């Protein structure tokens, strides 16, 4: 997809990331959202992707890993799927992805059932 929406007022979980890591933390989260939506509704997360992402956004690997840990704790990303499959996604990401696909009038969206966190039978 070419775009994704960002709330005008952030929820507490995003505000907590900002309080802990400032604008850099917010930039990391938004950068991760960009990468996820560029791929679809999730990304595989590993050392290679971390290294390339770190270089692209000019932030340390350690800072990115710490922000991801907070995102998992705060429910921004689904902790269970991350621990089981090393993927970053969430119910919110998947709902927004489905809404965008519906708005673009895609007839079908294929989800990996292992990563599915939403129930939307008309598009899955």
DSSP one-letter code for 115: T
Average pLDDT, whole number, for the chain? 91
pLDDT of residue 120: 61
Mean pLDDT for 45-53 is: 97
Expressed in angstroms, the distance from the first to the final Cα of the chain is: 17
The whole-angstrom separation of Cα 80 and Cα 88 is 10
88 forms bridges with which residues in the sheet? 43
Environment class of residue 43 by beta-carbon count within 10 Å: exposed (0-12), middle (13-18) or buried (19+)? buried
In terms of pTM, does the model score above 0.85? yes
- The CA-atom distances, in angstroms, between 107 and each of 4, 104, 113 are 19, 9, 18
Which of 60, 65, 71, 57 is CA-nearest to residue 17?
71
Mean pLDDT for 103-122 is: 78
Which of 55, 93, 86 is CA-nearest to residue 68?
86
pLDDT of residue 122 exceeding 60, the answer is no
43 forms bridges with which residues in the sheet? 88
The string of pLDDT tens digits covering residues 60-94 is 999 999 999 999 999 999 999 999 999 999 999 99
């Amino acid at each position: 997809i070419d775009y994704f929406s960002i709330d005008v007022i952030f929820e507490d979980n995003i505000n907590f990331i900002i309080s802990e890591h400032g604008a850099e933390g917010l930039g990391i989260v938004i950068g991760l959202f960009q990468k996820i939506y560029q791929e679809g509704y999730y990304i595989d997360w590993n050392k290679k992707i971390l290294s390339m992402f770190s270089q692209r956004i000019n932030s340390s690997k350690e800072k990115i890993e710490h922000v991801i840990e907070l995102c998992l704790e705060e429910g921004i990303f689904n902790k269970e799927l991350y621990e089981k499959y090393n993927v970053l996604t969430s119910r919110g990401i998947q709902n927004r992805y489905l809404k965008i696909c519906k708005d673009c009038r895609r007839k079908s969206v294929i989800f990996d059932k292992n990563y599915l966190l939403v129930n939307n039978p008309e598009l899955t």
